[in-house]
Structure 1
């Protein structure tokens, strides 16, 4: 099996995630500012747990090669992506201390703890299956938004978000994630109990992504 099998096993949930109204309104510039600010603050908290998940992947590794594998992603998260996120949020009037003090919304708690719990209870493959919807989905969304006619870049306050996730650097990083996941899945039959369990992990994490968008929309009401 491979990553596309995981997506195919939850096609409706995947569509709900990658074509969510939050994303579509962001693309045409009509997303409520308060929804976006809530998303930015919660995404900061999410990224901290995302880094913890990559640290857990090292803990769960058996060989030195396996231990080295997640290290670039962990280093990039802590040294580069979190810094860029803080700098970007500063342009929206949010400081790092503001975001550190922000309470975690229910969707953030549910999603991040699900990923960490999956990794703790299972193995590296379980963990990376739970992490996959985030990295793969954002790359898919970035490309879709860049190519669809309804996306407006000129005068769109969210243009930089679209350009980030459709950009070559993020797309290349996602391809590396896909190749790593596919190598883990290659020897697992899709219709086996193990394969179906991984599909369910991926589907649940995808549903969590839908809830993550929705909590931003709900914050604007």
Structure 2
């Protein structure tokens, strides 16, 4: 099996994630700023746990080669992506200390702890399957929106987000992640109990992504 099998097996949840109202409003430029600011702060907290998950991959690895594989992603997350996220958020008036002091929303807690718990209880295939919806989904969303004729570019305060995730650098990095995931999945029959277990993990993580978008919209409605 491979990542496309995972997506196809939970296509309804995947569509709900990649075509969520948060995403469509972001593309049109009419997303509530309160929703976006809430998302940015929660995404900062999410990325910290995302980095912990890659550190967990090194801990769970059985060979030196397996230990080497997550290291570039971990270094990129802590040394580059977190830095870019903080710099980007400063443009929206959010400082690193602001985001560190932010309380984790329920969806953030549920998603991040699910990924870490799945990784602790399982092996590398379990962990990277739980991590996969985030990177793969953002790449697919970015690529679709950057080429969509109804995506507003001029005057859209959120277009830089679309440009980043639809850009070549992010797209290439995700392809490397997909390659590694597919290597982990290659010898697992999709119809086997193990294959179905991994589909369940992928579907659950995808549903967590839906909830992550939704909590941003919910936060804007309560203010």
**What is the distance in 2 between the residues matched to 1:30 and 1:48?**
28
**What is the distance in 1 between the residues matched to 2:125 and 2:81?**
24
| Distance apart, 1:147 and its partner CA | 1.7
Q: Does 1:220 pair with 2:194?
A: no
Local SS of the residue matching 2:152: coil
Local SS of the residue matching 1:220: helix
**Cα deviation 1:90-113 (Å, max 9, x = unaligned):** 000000000000000000000000
Q: Does 1:65 pair with 2:65?
A: yes
**What is the distance in 2 between the residues matched to 1:147 and 1:218?**
28
State the TM-score, normalizing by the size of structure 2. Answer: 0.99
Q: Does 1:101 pair with 2:101?
A: yes
**What is the distance in 2 between the residues matched to 1:218 and 1:151?**
23
1:141 equivalent in structure 2: 141
1:158 equivalent in structure 2: 158
1:207 equivalent in structure 2: 207
Moved over 6 A (4+): none
Name structure 2 gaps, 5 residues minimum: none
**Cα deviation 1:10-60 (Å, max 9, x = unaligned):** 000000000000000000100000000000000000000000000000000
Q: Does 1:90 pair with 2:90?
A: yes
- Number of aligned residues: 221
2:28 equivalent in structure 1: 28
2:12 equivalent in structure 1: 12
**What is the distance in 2 between the residues matched to 1:147 and 1:193?**
39
2:55 equivalent in structure 1: 55
**What is the distance in 2 between the residues matched to 1:148 and 1:201?**
30
